Amino acid sequence: MSKFFRTVGSLIGIGFFIFILTPFVWTLYCSFRTSGSLSLGKFWTGFSDLTFDNYVSVFTSTATNLTTCIINSFIAAIAVTVISLFVALIAGYVLTRFKLKGSNGFIVLFLSAQMFPLVLVLIPLYQLLSTVNLINSIPGLILAHIVMALPFGIWLTVGYMNQIPKELDEAAMIDGLGWFGCLMKIILPLSLPAIAVVAFYSFMVSWGDYLFASIISQEVSSQTLPYGIATFMSSSTSNLRWGSINAAIIISVAPTTIIFMILKRWVIEGLTSGAVKG
């Protein structure tokens, strides 16, 4: 590539990464500064204004219930992950191995469920959950999150298991293994990358949801973190608490970031695979 293009490209690249990283770095930095020093509008106000208090206050303050929110978010996200993963693996296995009539139709059905407008789905879903008394409950929220996580999960497992040679499990079956043994002993071990992506995606979707949580789990006992922080930010005392708000934001960003860093290669491959093949 010519020198001109390299230079311009490098400059745009550098600018882009600064743009991407600034909010993280700034929020992380501010989460360790006192609210008093933040309100001064200065980039640096001395070492004496650095503190861990913001994180302590997120967990101890009686003015908010962010600790409950964090626990609720974890419970919901882990449950959604386990359920979606289990169901997606079964769906992937059945749709790629049991040569059923209409398999392709089911796949298209699951695929199209990815693009239902969620604000529309929420209305009847709310009615449904309230008739079975699951409004303001974590199980209700978990059910709702499954509609966001599962279609993509199924789509991924189907795509992945299609690439595992069918001869492998056919050979195992000739040796007397049943379908369940095949799934557990042959398909699962080979599907670990897909499992990682489905699990990560499900966790991410549930952990990050604001729309459903803002209607289905408004009550304090069942609130999740995004809703909790939004309420915290709009409360009248929020101007005095920017330090704690920043700490809460960092806590809301941390779990998916850490899990992603561990599973990075698989997740990126899985997420981009649908678009890259072709």
Partner 1 sequence: MLDRKKNKIQGYLLLLIPLGLIGIVGIYPLVRAFFLSFTDATLYSTELHFLGFTNYHKLFGSSEFINALKHSVLLTTLSVLIQYFLGLIIALVLHHRTLKIFNFLTNFLMLPWIIPVASTVFMFNWMVQPGFGFFNMVFESLGLTNLTGYWFGNINFAMPSIIMMHVWRNTPFYALVIFASLKGIPKTLYEASSIDGANILQQFFYITLPNIIYSSAVVIVLHVLWTFNNFDFVFLSTGGGPVGKTDVLATLIYRQSWQYYSFGYASALGVIMFSIMLVFGIFYIISQRKELG
From the list 179, 193, 220, 266, which residue makes contact with partner 1 (rule: CB under 8 A)? 179
Minimal distance in Å, beta carbon 200 to partner 1?
8
**Site for partner 1 (CB under 8 A): which residue of 23, 52, 133, 192?**
23
Give residues 62-121 in contact with partner 1 (rule: CB under 8 A). Answer: 83, 87-88, 90-91, 93-95, 97-100, 104, 106-113, 115-121
Residue count at the site for partner 1 (CB under 8 A)? Answer: 108
Q: Which of 103, 116, 110 is nearest to 84 (CA)?
A: 110
Residue closer to partner 1 (CB basis): 63 or 100: 100
Residues 25-44 that bind partner 1 (CB under 8 A): 26-27, 30, 38-43
Based on CB atoms, which residue is closest to partner 1, 220 or 253?
Answer: 253
CA pair distance 28, 161, nearest whole angstrom: 40
Backbone φ and ψ of 50, nearest 5°: -90, 140
* Contact residue for partner 1 among 9, 60, 63, 235 (CB under 8 A): 9
Residues making up the chain, counted from first to last: 278
Contact partners, residue 169, CB within 8 Å, separation at least 6:
97, 177, 182, 186, 187
Q: Which of 76, 80, 144, 186 binds partner 1 (CB under 8 A)?
A: 144
Residue 43 neighbours by CB under 8 Å, 6+ apart: none
Nearer to partner 1, 13 or 221 (CB): 13
Per-residue binding string, partner 1, 151-170, x by CB under 8 A, is: x--xx--xx--x------xx
Interface pick for partner 1 out of 76, 79, 161, 245 (rule CB under 8 A): 245
| Contacts (Cβ under 8 Å, ≥6 apart) of 158 | 91, 92, 95, 96, 107, 110
Comparing CB distances to partner 1, the nearer of 177 and 220 is 177
- Judge whether 243 and 53 are in contact, CB under 8 Å: yes
Residue 11: φ, ψ to 5°: -65, -45
Site for partner 1 in 183-212 (CB under 8 A): 204, 207-211
CB of 132 to partner 1, least distance (A): 10
Interacting positions 208-227 with partner 1 (CB under 8 A): 208-211, 215, 225-226
Residue 225 belongs to what H/E stretch? helix 225-234
- Two tokens at 150? 């599962």
For residue 159, give every residue at least 6 positions away whose Cβ sits within 8 Å of its Cβ, in sequence order, or none: 194, 273, 274
Residue 243 and residue 55 in contact, taking contact as beta carbons nearer than 8 Å = no
